[in-house]
Structure 1
Amino acid sequence: MSGCADYTQMCSNVSVVSECKTNTMLPGLPTTQDAAQYVQSICSSMAMDGCDACVFPAGGGYPQCDILSTYAHLCTSMPDMDQCASFKSICQATPSFSLCSSSGSTDAPPSMIMYFHQGIHEYVLFKSWVPNNNGQYVGAWFAIFFIAVFYQGLNVLRSNCEAYWLLSAEKGDKKWRLLGKNGFFVGYFAWKHTKIDLMRLVFTFIESTISYALMLITMTFNVGLFFAVVTGLAVGIFFFGRHRSLAGLAEAGKLDGCASCQ
């Protein structure tokens, strides 16, 4: 840069100034304009943690922030973005650069890698749930595994309850026809159906929440977490799948009651 002409002249030859030797050049370092464009391009294409650090003025110009640190933070989070080619070249040429060495720290945000990969440093649903060592990763694996097992058990319970409610509705319709259109019985059966609808609502809310949470975990593309989900689903169907046959018995009129569906 033109403002560095004096420094360049002083340090280009053999110099007794120690800073000329300790503060060496960073090959591939982008200009402020280029770094700002990279940051603006990344943050306009997706919402990432760190984008709020640099707010670009509506009328144009540079934001009042440390643009290079923000650029490095974003590229540490998702290094395979096209805008991060300059940052990767810096770190390849100067691995000791402070903004590059932070990428291997457990305090750095996990990388967002959109293909199957291994590793333990991963966001698991929440910003605060990030395994930073093997013990935490194993704990997260078993937590996800048991959630998947529970999901299968809940799914089987819901299918059995639906069968039981169907059988009860058929019996209720027969009772209603025999008793006539008495106001008390009309109100009773109306409340009973409303109660069943409310239970369906609760079942759907819990099942959908768990289902989408498991889907988001598999979308981390972490091999270990992916298999925590599918293994939990498989083990869950191993333990609970046989009980799904109760639904068929209920439809055939052979199931007298379902205590958990009351």
Structure 2
Amino acid sequence: MSMTDMSMAASATMAMSDMASMTTSDMASATADSMSGMDHSSMMMGMQDMMMVFFSAKNTSLYSAAWTPSTTGQYVGTCIFLIALACIFRGLIALRCNFVALWTRSQRRRRGGLRYAADDPLVKQTRRPWAINEAASRAFLDTVLAGVSYLLMLAVMTMNVGYFLSILGGTFLGSFVIGGWTGTAAH
């Protein structure tokens, strides 16, 4: 072994022993120092910052910082919006459950006004022929359904009890009014 190799091995061993003797706080401060351009207070989070509990503040942002109610009326308006969005969600579910029947009905009307029957063999057929218009319509409906459900999920994730109860109330109201249509797909 040459002298250069021995000196490199000795430096590597010293660096490893230095790293092994570092405490966790030393590593954290070294990491924080290396990120000098970042805000240090936002980097360190204690367990009290990570607790997830419901709260009842009236100034909770919804979807963006621009949508932050500052008055009680704005908060109530936001809750009414969430009730309406949850009702729309239930309506979209009912529409999706009856998509094949509604699609077949609209096609029959377009082709000559044939009457719609619940026991129509085209509606009850298990494997329907693929059609681009029907597939695109179904895909669009599924995408809107996913988007609305994600918006509702984000509202619940704010952990605001008013937003949460508004979504539950809207789901109840939507199911109460439109829920009968959802069950027809199973018959």
Query: Scaled by the length of structure 2, what TM-score is found?
Result: 0.62
CA deviation profile, 1:159-216 (whole Å, cap 9, x unmatched): 11234457989539x9xxxxxxxxxxxxxx76xx211101111111100000011011
For residues 152 and 86 of structure 2, the distance between their equivalents in structure 1, rounded to whole angstroms, comes to 7
Partner of residue 176 from structure 2, selected from 235, 238, 257 = 238
Partner of 1:208: 146
Q: CA deviation at 1:127?
A: 2.5
1:82 and 2:58 are equivalent in the alignment: no
Aligned pair 1:219/2:157, yes or no? yes
Deviation at 1:246?
A: 3.7
Distance 1:61 1:145, change over 3 A: closer
Moved over 3 A (4+): 60-63, 163-172
SS at match of 1:220: coil
Instruction: List runs of 5+ in structure 2 lacking aligned partners.
Output: 1-24, 108-119
Task: Decide whether the 8 Å contact of 1:152 with 1:236 is kept in 2.
Answer: yes
Letter in 1 for 2:171: L
Distance 2:156 2:146 in 1: 15
The one-letter code sitting in structure 2 at the alignment partner of 1:117 is F
**CA shift at 1:113, angstroms?**
6.2
2:81 pairs with 1:130: no
| Preserved CA contact (<8 Å) 1:113 1:220 | no
1:162 pairs with 2:107: no
Does structure 1 retain, via aligned residues, the 8 Å contact 2:93–2:182? no
CA contact (8 A) 1:123 1:130 kept: yes
Aligned residue number for residue 122 of structure 2: 171
Percent of aligned positions that are identical: 26
Letter in 2 for 1:127: A
Are the counterparts in 2 of residues 120 and 132 from structure 1 also a CA contact under 8 Å? yes
Instruction: Provide the TM-score with structure 1 as the length reference.
Output: 0.45
SS at match of 1:114: coil
Query: 2:137 maps to which residue?
Result: 199
Aligned counterpart in structure 2 of residue 116 of structure 1, from 54, 77, 81: 54
The 2-side partners of 1:61 and 1:137 are apart by 39
List runs of 5+ in structure 1 lacking aligned partners: 1-33, 42-55, 85-110, 175-188, 250-262
Change (3 A) 1:162 1:235: same
CA RMSD, Structure 1 to Structure 2 (Å):
3.6
Q: Give the conservation status (yes or no) of the 8 Å contact 1:114–1:220.
A: no
- CA distance in structure 1 between the partners assigned to 2:92 and 2:51 by the alignment: 32
Q: Trace 1:1-262 onto structure 2 (pairs within 5 A).
A: 60=34, 62-63=36-37, 71=41, 74=42, 81-82=45-46, 114-165=52-103, 170-171=121-122, 193-248=131-186
Displacement of 1:245: 4.1
User: 2:102, 2:47 → 1: CA distance?
Assistant: 58
Residues 19-66 of structure 1: CA deviation (Å, up to 9, x unaligned): xxxxxxxxxxxxxxx9xx78x76xxxxxxxxxxxxxx7xxx3844x8x
